[in-house]
Structure 1
Amino acid sequence: MRLKSAIWVSAFLRRCMVQGIFGAVVKKGAEEAGAVHVIVNHLDGTCHMLGPAPGEACDEAGERRFIAEIAPPRSAADAMALLQRRMRFDPDLWIVEVEDRKGMAGLEPCA
């Protein structure tokens, strides 16, 4: 069984806070099943954007699966432009942004 999107986002942001990583919800989506997109801002003008992986929503361990949709040297503005286009088709999606200079805020994109 998959966690509701609102619970997953809350737990993810709490885990980031414990690790000293600032994060915030940019756009709140559907509480139960909205697609979650995470922008990892590296605070140097570049970012990663992770989105839901195609196929199974969760792996064998029950963790959400993500794919890297945008990788550096792209900017957060590029990520938001892509998400603005996606919101026309899926108004229920979530956008979460975290600031992590060193990594991916604990998320690992699948291959």
Structure 2
Amino acid sequence: MRHSVNRPPTPDTRDDQEKEPPALKEIISIKLIESGEKERLMELLRERLVESGWKDEMKALCREHIKKKGRNNVTIDDLVHVITPKGRASIPDPIKAELLQRIRTFLVSATPL
């Protein structure tokens, strides 16, 4: 039997066995995206942040930073770098708790018995 020089090498079966299964976080993320739940959760988060005044606070922080640095000396990347940590830290706990509860409820309903 002649072997083709153009044929790719046969994959080693050990490579398939050594691959790790996807992490739980990745599986949850995939399920949320496939079901459309991620988009619904993102919309809920946007609504809650606006209702709580968080969005206005972040807008004020951005304006303050721009005023301090000068309009021509600030880039979007600069704003993102400065504001993101403050924004994440200032999300109200009740909003975080509500989102976490929604994710838990989704996972319970999506998990076959």
TM interval, short-chain normalised: under 0.3
Report the TM-score when normalising by structure 1: 0.27
Report the TM-score when normalising by structure 2: 0.27
Between Structure 1 and Structure 2, the one with more strand by share is 1
Q: Compare CA radii of gyration and give the structure with the larger one.
A: 2
